[in-house]
Amino acid sequence: MDKDQSTELLFDLSQPGRRAARFPAIDVPTTPVDSVFGADDLAEESPPLPELAEIDVVRHFTNLSTRNMSVDTNFYPLGSCTMKYNPKRNERLASLPQFADLHPYQPDATHQGMLRLLFDLEAMIGEISGLDAVCLQPAAGAHGELTALLVAASYFRKSGQARTKVLIPDSAHGTNPSSAHLAGFDCVQVASDQRGLVDMNDLRAKIDGDVAVFMITNPNTIGLFDHQIVEIASLIHEAGGLMYLDGANMNAILGQTRPGDFGIDLMHFNPHKTFSGPHGGGGPGAGPIAVRGMLEPFLPTPRIAERDGQWRLDFDRPDSIGRVRSFFGNTGVLVRAYCYIRTHGAEGLKSVSTNAVLNANYLLSLVKDFLPVPHGDRCMHEFVASASGLHKSRGVRTMDIAKRLLDRGYHAPTVYFPLVVPEAMMIEPTETESKETLEQFADVLREIIEEPAELLQQAPHTLGISRPDEVRAARKPVLRWQAST
């Protein structure tokens, strides 16, 4: 194994007595620790911390950082996740001390700039969504889903309606049923038809007076815009229900159409997808929600309010569902979203979605002849190919292709999702990739598919770790070093 692929830990590199820095001898009186703590509180031995020079530590972490795929180093066509380039300007602006060093307990009068930025961001997201009120508190898309469903539940409770069901298409992201369940609803699955759109007969059969919300993703996870949306919305509204949009795919329709205009009552955004925020390995995110006016009283507290050019936090909201996140949410990612939206402006945002859809269609046209795309010749911002034929003819699975792509320097597409396509491979290039990158990726994909099955089944061949037991890696991760005894 190459040295840079080694799994040596800092503990393994430790040399007794080695130091990054040495302090001068103490020249002031000292207090013995056991005069402060009781002897029982003190450890008998020093902890076995690694002893290293600064350069050892810097090399270790710098090398580790290069072992990840990232948008800054590799094409990353991870469908549904919209892994577009994160402009460095936004990073720099968000880390200005005037934003980054604010303390949330400062009096409102001393952080007017941040309050105004968030207030204006709410207005911009409201405009993009075509809805009336926005809350920035939720910490991720899934958290936005849950928050919006709690808002819907409060709305129905307040109007004395005991509605128990949330309808969800079978192509939906797993977070949709999870959020509905957590919010106390029963989930009812609606089938997709052969085109990959909502099956209207199945929908009609499942609508009744118990339906609270229909959760739709549009464009859906197959990358198709469901043109039945206005009809779906009127059926749900006639039955007294609300229309929720999972806004994860807003990159396809930004500035082209507005969810509020096609019948949506409440939705979430994923700024780390649509507005180029970093995805941050499970780190701080945001999932702003937008709602129609009648739902505004139920939004989380506090709301940012403005009067006579002064911004303040309004806690006086009797119908609010309460807090869903400390303070105002993860403002660092919200500042990035603000910068992104302001940088592009209305016309720029429209060209983002135009180019995202153009890139996806170009890649689709390059790929579909050797990797079938079951749901059509056109797509929105992403498409779902299927390795089901290859699986039958040569035993090559989507997972094998995904793993082999890693050897060739590409992050894998999303695999085995949506569930309605067998051996699914969901490819989303985003608008920030060049024509050359898309062509190279298509060439590599074609080469891989023609390689011997055994080569693919053992891939990746060039990385430090080949095929971990993924369930065990997720369920029982080894995150702690243990001293050998």
Ligand X SMILES: *Cc1c(COP(=O)(O)O)cnc(C)c1O
Q: Are strands 303-307 and 383-386 parallel, antiparallel or unpaired?
A: unpaired
Residue 221 in contact with ligand X, rule: CB under 6 A: yes
Total chain residues near ligand X (CB under 6 A): 13
The residue among 311 and 328 lying less far from ligand X, judged by its C-beta, is 328
Secondary structure E strands in 118-263: 133-135, 165-169, 186-190, 211-217, 242-246
Residue 270 in contact with ligand X, rule: CB under 6 A: yes
**Closest C-alpha among 102, 84, 148, 83 to residue 288:** 148
Candidate list 122, 199, 226, 246; residue touching ligand X; CB under 6 A: 246
**Longest CA pairwise span in the chain (Å):** 84
Q: State the nearest-atom distance from the C-beta of 244 to ligand X, in Å.
A: 11
Q: Count how many residues are written for the chain.
A: 485
**From 10-18, 136-144, 190-198, 431-439, span contacting ligand X (CB under 6 A):** 136-144
Candidate list 52, 77, 78, 80; residue touching ligand X; CB under 6 A: 80
Q: State the nearest-atom distance from the C-beta of 142 to ligand X, in Å.
A: 3
Residue 285 in contact with ligand X, rule: CB under 6 A: yes
Q: How far are the Cα atoms of 76, 369, 372, 422, 451 from residue 446, in angstroms, in the given order?
A: 17, 10, 12, 20, 9
CA distance 224 to 384: 10
- Identify the burial level of 472 via C-beta atoms within 10 angstroms of its C-beta, where 0-12 means exposed, 13-18 middle and 19 or more buried: exposed
Q: State the nearest-atom distance from the C-beta of 138 to ligand X, in Å.
A: 9
The residue among 287 and 429 lying less far from ligand X, judged by its C-beta, is 287
Please name the residues in contact with 193: beta carbons below 8 A apart, sequence gap of 6 or more: 199, 200
The residue among 111 and 173 lying less far from ligand X, judged by its C-beta, is 173
**From 119-127, 138-146, 200-208, 374-382, span contacting ligand X (CB under 6 A):** 138-146
Q: State the nearest-atom distance from the C-beta of 178 to ligand X, in Å.
A: 10
Q: Which helix (H) or strand (E) holds 472?
A: helix 470-475
Q: How many CB atoms lie within 10 A of CB 93?
A: 18
Q: State the nearest-atom distance from the C-beta of 224 to ligand X, in Å.
A: 13
Residue 325 in contact with ligand X, rule: CB under 6 A: no
CA distance 341 to 296: 23
Return the structure tokens found at 117: 């930025």
Residue 137 in contact with ligand X, rule: CB under 6 A: no
Q: State the nearest-atom distance from the C-beta of 173 to ligand X, in Å.
A: 3
Residue 136 in contact with ligand X, rule: CB under 6 A: no
Residue 277 in contact with ligand X, rule: CB under 6 A: no
Candidate list 86, 129, 137, 175; residue touching ligand X; CB under 6 A: 175
Output the residue with the shortest Cβ distance to ligand X: 141
DSSP letters, 35-51, are: GTS-GGGS-SS------
Residue 252 in contact with ligand X, rule: CB under 6 A: no
Residue 142 in contact with ligand X, rule: CB under 6 A: yes
Residue 217 in contact with ligand X, rule: CB under 6 A: yes
Q: Are strands 383-386 and 310-314 parallel, antiparallel or unpaired?
A: unpaired
Q: How many helices (H) and strands (E) does the chain have?
A: 16, 12
Q: State the nearest-atom distance from the C-beta of 264 to ligand X, in Å.
A: 15
Q: How far are the Cα atoms of 70, 166, 219, 263, 327 from residue 228, in angstroms, in the given order?
A: 37, 19, 11, 11, 39
Q: State the nearest-atom distance from the C-beta of 83 to ligand X, in Å.
A: 11
Residue 287 in contact with ligand X, rule: CB under 6 A: yes
The residue among 270 and 297 lying less far from ligand X, judged by its C-beta, is 270
Q: Tokens 């051996």 correspond to what residue? A: 423
**From 105-113, 134-142, 194-202, 386-394, span contacting ligand X (CB under 6 A):** 134-142
Residues that bind ligand X (CB under 6 A): 80, 140-142, 173, 175, 217, 221, 246, 248, 270, 285, 287
